[in-house]
Amino acid sequence: MVRIIKLAGPVLFFALLAGLFLSLLLEGGDPDYYWRLKHGEMLVKEHLFPMKETFSFTANGTRMQVNAWLTEILFYLIHRSFGYLGQALFHCFLLTATHLLLYLFLTRRILLPTFGSAALTGLCALIFFNVAAPRAQNISFLFFLLSLFAVAEWEKGNEKAPYWIALGIFPWVNFHSGFMIAFVLLALIGVGKIIHDRRLSVSAFCPLLAGILFSLINPEGYQVYAFPAISMVNPTILNLINEMKPLNILDPMRFYPYLAMLILIMLYGVKSFASRRFPWALLCFALIYQSMTVLRMAPFFAIVSAICIGFSLKSSGDDKSLRIIFIVLSLFVGGMALRHVHPRMLNIYPWNEKSIHRKYPEESVRLIREKYPGKNIFNDFGWGGYLIYHLPENRIAIDSRTLPYLEFMEYGYNSVIWATPRAAWVLDEIKADLVLYPTPSLLVRYLDGHKDWERVLQTPTESLFVRKNIKARHI
């Protein structure tokens, strides 16, 4: 009976956390989602890897990336069988399981009390709320935390544990490009071994070599490194993709949880985790920098910082001050979670399967399907995947995967959306028949007065233009 009572708190906490994640996931709107569904559909129905761009008329035939092919198959099968609700539940499971593993790390490996572990786990979740979406990277978070358990085993003296991380790269590389962070863990294990043993040893990096070899077992081969590397440095990708942009310190919901973690690290110092066999301090500081420059890295920072804070709190030895810290932290987490999720829940519920279309140009898609099949569409960056999936007879100018045609993104797409003097020329050059773009925009105002374009649909969120020489199909 006592054991059941002790379990009631954590069970209630994770049930609440799962409910919050599910609410955020039901909101939808991820630009990659439908693109991955289309790839998954091709893999399942045509039994081939879509190695060439076939959706965009601006880059037809250029090389694509398929390093998340297992994820795309999984996404498509779930969506086909259970709809978007099934997808949201699946990703809710992934995100909740990630935080459950973090909680277990804090309670079982660091031996923090359950209340304190829940408070730190909740603080980590606040940062995850900002990137909660049905994305392939959710699988990477799970792999990453499992890898940290292997790191903890190595710290206890199990010299085989790093090879578990290396072996885990084999499935990971076929699920998501986030596998690259496993190389960082293996490299730091090598550095930690050299520092701890106080002698230079090539064998310290054998697990890293094994990880590199396992990463090559994928349809891309060595090309699997291309997209992760380019996406971290290419200015076009960094400017267009929200998760590749720097942390917005003016947004309280994004910055306050981040700041709270930094304050806890500064208050309790780095001595407790800087002296450990694995160089946690190096990993933590590297992720502090990376997460401030690239939002995509913020969840990895949150996980590692929660663990490092756990080490510091455990070594402080002051139980009374710890209780105060955990109470204050719990109140902060609860208030921030309510502030973050409540207004969005008002927009989400009541929810049904059609609700997912609210963030996409559903009316324009219906009209294009009926009257303009087979026409080329110049479209908003974030709508590309949706159009690919729902308009198989049409081809689009741009989808959410930027790698095959970054030059067009930089010199063509931006010229059009900002309605520069080159806009009409670019639309002529790429042979765009239709333009579909959000209503409150410079491009819509520009085309409204243009002699070659006619508006055929406008709603508060979307506007569809057609060239005046294009005839609609009569039904």
| Domain range list for the chain | 2-28+82-348, 360-467
Instruction: Select, from the ranges 8-12, 244-248, 254-258, the one with the highest average predicted confidence (pLDDT).
Output: 254-258
Residue 383 CA neighbour count, 13 Å, CB half: 27
Mean pLDDT, rounded, for 53-69: 82
In this predicted structure, the answer to whether residue 474 has a pLDDT above a threshold of 70 is no
Instruction: Look at residues 359, 374, 373 and name the one whose alpha carbon lies nearest to residue 438.
Output: 359
Name, in order, each residue with C-beta under 8 angstroms of 84's C-beta and a sequence gap of 6 or more. 26, 28, 353, 356
Mean pLDDT, rounded, for 323-333: 92
Going by their DSSP bridges, the two strands 376-379 and 395-396 should be labelled as parallel
393's tokens:
């007879």
Rounded Cα gap, residues 466 and 472, in angstroms: 9
For 105-130, the pLDDT digits (tens) are 999 999 999 999 999 999 999 999 98
User: Which amino acid belongs to residue 99?
Assistant: H
In this predicted structure, the answer to whether residue 475 has a pLDDT above a threshold of 60 is no
The pLDDT value recorded for residue 238 is 67
In this predicted structure, the answer to whether residue 8 has a pLDDT above a threshold of 70 is yes
Tell me which H or E stretch contains 456.
Answer: strand 453-458
Least confident of 8-17, 224-233, 271-280, 288-297: 224-233
182's tokens:
């496993």
The pLDDT value recorded for residue 33 is 92
Tell me the angle at which helices 114-129 and 69-104 cross, rounded to the nearest 10 degrees: 150
Contact status, residue 131 vs residue 299, Cβ threshold 8 Å: yes
In this predicted structure, the answer to whether residue 438 has a pLDDT above a threshold of 60 is yes
Cα-flanking dihedrals φ and ψ of residue 457, to 5°? Answer: -160, 140
Instruction: Select, from the ranges 137-146, 220-229, 251-260, the one with the highest average predicted confidence (pLDDT).
Output: 137-146
The pLDDT value recorded for residue 403 is 57
In this predicted structure, the answer to whether residue 101 has a pLDDT above a threshold of 70 is yes
In this predicted structure, the answer to whether residue 90 has a pLDDT above a threshold of 70 is yes
The pLDDT value recorded for residue 294 is 83
Alpha carbon distances (Å) from 183 to 25, 143, 178: 30, 13, 10
Output 273 or 313, whichever has higher pLDDT. 313
The pLDDT value recorded for residue 443 is 94
Give me the count of residues in the chain.
Answer: 475
Rounded Cα gap, residues 179 and 172, in angstroms: 6
Cα-flanking dihedrals φ and ψ of residue 261, to 5°? Answer: -65, -40
Output 14 or 275, whichever has higher pLDDT. 14
Cα torsion 284, 286, 287, 289: sign: positive
CA 5 to chain centre: 36
Cα-flanking dihedrals φ and ψ of residue 53, to 5°? Answer: -70, 120
The pLDDT value recorded for residue 433 is 95
The pLDDT value recorded for residue 9 is 81
Cα-flanking dihedrals φ and ψ of residue 355, to 5°? Answer: -65, -30
In this predicted structure, the answer to whether residue 206 has a pLDDT above a threshold of 60 is yes
Contact status, residue 233 vs residue 240, Cβ threshold 8 Å: no
Tell me the angle at which helices 180-197 and 206-215 cross, rounded to the nearest 10 degrees: 170
Least confident of 171-175, 267-271, 275-279: 267-271
Burial of 193 (0-12, 13-18, 19+ CB in 10 A): buried
Instruction: Give me the residues paired with residue 63 across strands.
Output: 52
- The chain-wide mean pLDDT, for the chain, equals 89
Mean pLDDT, rounded, for 38-54: 88
In this predicted structure, the answer to whether residue 237 has a pLDDT above a threshold of 80 is no
Mean pLDDT, rounded, for 429-439: 93
Which residue shows structure tokens 């510091």?
A: 312
Rounded Cα gap, residues 108 and 102, in angstroms: 10
Rounded Cα gap, residues 55 and 397, in angstroms: 8
Q: What is the largest CA-CA distance in the chain?
A: 79
Instruction: Look at residues 321, 405, 401 and name the one whose alpha carbon lies nearest to residue 68.
Output: 401
In this predicted structure, the answer to whether residue 10 has a pLDDT above a threshold of 80 is yes
For 159-192, the pLDDT digits (tens) are 999 999 999 999 999 999 899 999 999 999 999 9
Cα-flanking dihedrals φ and ψ of residue 166, to 5°? Answer: -60, -45
In this predicted structure, the answer to whether residue 400 has a pLDDT above a threshold of 70 is no
136's tokens:
């392939």
Mean pLDDT, rounded, for 21-27: 92
pTM: 0.92
Rounded Cα gap, residues 70 and 147, in angstroms: 20
Least confident of 14-23, 26-35, 240-249, 374-383: 240-249
Tell me the percentage of the chain whose pLDDT exceeds 90.
Answer: 61
Rounded Cα gap, residues 181 and 211, in angstroms: 11
The pLDDT value recorded for residue 445 is 93
pLDDT category at 31 given cuts 50, 70, 90 is confident
Contact status, residue 70 vs residue 43, Cβ threshold 8 Å: no
In this predicted structure, the answer to whether residue 235 has a pLDDT above a threshold of 70 is no
In this predicted structure, the answer to whether residue 229 has a pLDDT above a threshold of 80 is no
In this predicted structure, the answer to whether residue 453 has a pLDDT above a threshold of 90 is yes
Q: Is 338 left (phi over 0), alpha (psi -120 to 50) or beta?
A: alpha
Rounded Cα gap, residues 467 and 284, in angstroms: 54
For 299-314, the pLDDT digits (tens) are 999 999 999 999 998 8
